[in-house]
Amino acid sequence: MIAIPAIDLRGGACVQLVGGSYAHERIRLPDAVRVAREWLDVGFERLHVVDLDAAMGCGTNAPIIDAILREDGARVQVGGGVRSAERIEQLLAAGASEVVVGTRALEDEEWLADQASRYPGTLMVATDVRAGQLAVRGWTETIDRDLLDTVGSLSALPLAGLLVTAVDVEGQMRGPALSLIESIVRASSVPVIASGGITTLDDLRALARLGVAAAVVGMALYTGTLNPRDVAEEFGA
């Protein structure tokens, strides 16, 4: 399993939210490109970049994403408001290694199947979970679909993986939702990338034991609760 630092973009800055709430922003760093370079310099080989403004439909951080993608040595998966074939193509052309799709992927099965067949092994589907339900549109709404049934149907597609964010524990540094992640790993035949609540090296080790392919880490790295060099040494590649 590898650990991947999260770079969440809002209003041009790198931010971290508590509990998925846009009203509870705890971290704000003005130079997101510099943040990306610092994570690479520490020893991480992959980055997870999310355009929160695009996810909410209230703006874009596309120029910053493009700048991060130009950083040498970066393997970057990008998501947030990716709801068109054109945007997928733009991100891949700009250098994204994987593209994360969420809202439209969950609401338009034909579109997702078509895009997955066009870009096999390249798309990740964000299966964000709030209170046991799939969350969409920047975690502001939920949809009425059975979670594990959805995971099973997504597994039939040639995806790069499922990005599972436990929104309820996101940014709270109380530990990951292990039972949720375990149930999804068991139901999925594609790699699972876990996110939300990761606080300690033991949390990362527990996720690795569950068979998680990668873990996206945010708040604990930005606050220094987790030593970035220790994480990169054990889970950086």
- What residues are annotated to the active site? 8, 128
Which residues have a Cβ under 8 Å from the Cβ of 94 and sit 6 or more positions away?
65, 66, 69
For residue 199, the SS3 value is coil
Residue among 103, 82, 105 at smallest CA distance from 94: 82
CB contact at 8 A, 230 and 220: no
Copy the structure tokens of residue 218. Answer: 């945010």
Q: How many DSSP H helices and E strands does the chain contain?
A: 11, 13
Residue among 192, 199, 193, 189 at smallest CA distance from 227: 199
Which residues have a Cβ under 8 Å from the Cβ of 209 and sit 6 or more positions away?
none
